[in-house]
Amino acid sequence: MIPWWLVAVLIFGANFVLWGSMGLLRRISTSCAAFYDRVTRRIRTPFSLRGSGCFPGDTDVGRTRGAGGDPPFGTDRVAVLMAAHNEELVITDSLESVTELVPRANVYVVSDGSTDRTVELAEQAGVNVISTWSNVGKAGALQQAIERFHLVEHYPAVLLLDADTRLDSNYFRAALPLFGDPRVAAVAGFVRTDWDRSGLSPLGRLLVCHRQRIYALSQYLLKFGQTWLRCNATHIVPGFASMYRTEVLPHIEMNPPGLVIEDFNMTFEVYQKRLGKVGFTPAAVAVTQDPDNLRDYVRQTKRWALGLWQTVRRHRPRTNLFTCMLLLLLTELLTSSLLMIALPLVLLLLLLPLLLPGTPELVVLGPLHEAVSGYVSLFSLLLGVVVVDLSLTLLVALALRKPRFLVFGAFFLFLRILDAALSLYTLPLAWLTRSTGRWRSPGRRAPAPSPVEPSPSVEADVPTSSGSGA
């Protein structure tokens, strides 16, 4: 009989345990380094000058918790590149959020075949705007803009920003110092879904809560550990709001044929070509819109899953930590997806004696019930799947202080089954079909006027000083 804890490991995977432990070690390491920094600074600083602000990092005022030291450059030397396709409902708010943090002259918009007011609104925002000659897809549009605007020659870093994404005011203060380590080639943003869009249906609220739960668990329990510079290997630098050193961009094949999305491939290129490491801090927050209807949710989930499998197909394995991380991730993705899809059938077979008292005498169902019940029990599934899943929901609700997770907690498991089915459905498509990269944005809603909430601060690898490039 399979014990409940093994069921939990098979369904939820060992990745959370492995990289969650790495994240805990990273947290302990940075806390110890910060404590040592404070102690040595106090020893070296005369008592009369402590707290006066005369020494860098002497006061917590203006310190960026979660960054990696003094930024090597300020926001005046960061380019912001936004590819947009029919984003008239959201592009103005996104541009307003970023132009409050960087000069408007540093912001570049490339419209990829837009047929609405996207170009007009971007021009009204006072930023640089071009259009592609045809609908070439996001990756192709980004590549054209980087070349036509000569961003590599003019800026040391570029932020790739989606048109539906709004930056938190602390984004650059948290993210730029990570480039102080010359090993860091890219910095991944911390994604948060747009909670407060008006007019969401109950299903829409369930979908965005499910997505936010995935974001919280994957970023706190996976990405934070995966991006510790001592054991650095993460499978994606998401394209919604992440930065790259421009010096590595000429070495990245941004728009290879046959891929539906670009961010998986760009991340793989960074590691497989040994261009550097990926930095990440939960303090670099950006808010994005997630689908609030089932049709768009399914379409986007399929697109993401297909993008992962296509990128795996394109890059051959190497003997490095990144490949080991990826093999573990894909193995668990396959096994957990198969088990999640089988879960309803297994539950039905285990419940058959309650539904049909004569089950043991049935020709087919009787032996099936006996075979399944010999390996797993309802109690094991209850503890290993339902209770563990609800516990993760409770953990996220407490960490984010969002009770709404508990309202939808009983339904997340059904969406996980849907995600698993879509992941397996797209697996053969990665080898049987080729994508053009052309896109269709999900349905958008005007963002709520409320400010972006700051993320709980988590320290990174190097204690920060008071300097900031923002």
What per-residue confidence (pLDDT) applies to 328? 93
Q: pLDDT value at position 14? A: 84
Question: How far is Cα 194 from Cα 286, in angstroms, rounded to an integer?
Answer: 10
pLDDT band at 62 (very low <50, low <70, confident <90, very high): very low
pLDDT in tens, 211-267: 999 999 999 999 999 999 999 999 999 999 999 999 999 999 999 999 999 999 999
16 vs 7: CA distance, rounded Å: 15
* 56-60, 89-93, 421-425: least confidently modelled range: 56-60
Rg of the chain over Cα atoms, rounded to whole angstroms, equals 24
What are the φ/ψ torsions at residue 214 (nearest 5 degrees)? -60, -45
Q: In the chain, what percentage of residues exceed pLDDT 90?
A: 69
- Residue 262's pLDDT is 94
3-state secondary structure of 227: coil
Q: Please state the pTM of the whole predicted model.
A: 0.86
- Is domain 75-320 given the CATH code 2.40.30.200 in the classification? no
Average pLDDT over residues 445-470: 45
pLDDT of residue 67: 46
* CA gap 183, 111 in Å, rounded: 33
pLDDT band of residue 372 (cuts 50, 70, 90) is confident
Q: Which of 9-18, 31-40, 44-53, 171-180 has the highest mean pLDDT?
A: 171-180
Domain ranges of the chain: 75-320, 328-352+363-432
The CB-based long-range contact list for 144-149 (8 Å cut-off, 24+ gap) reads 144/110, 145/81, 145/83, 145/108, 145/110, 146/81, 146/249, 146/254, 149/79, 149/81, 149/108
Work out the pLDDT band at 58, boundaries 50, 70, 90: very low
Q: What contacts 130, CB < 8 A, 6 or more positions away? A: 108, 109, 110, 111, 144, 145, 148, 149
Q: How many CA atoms lie within 13 A of 71 on its CB side?
A: 25
Q: What is the mean pLDDT of residues 299-311?
A: 96
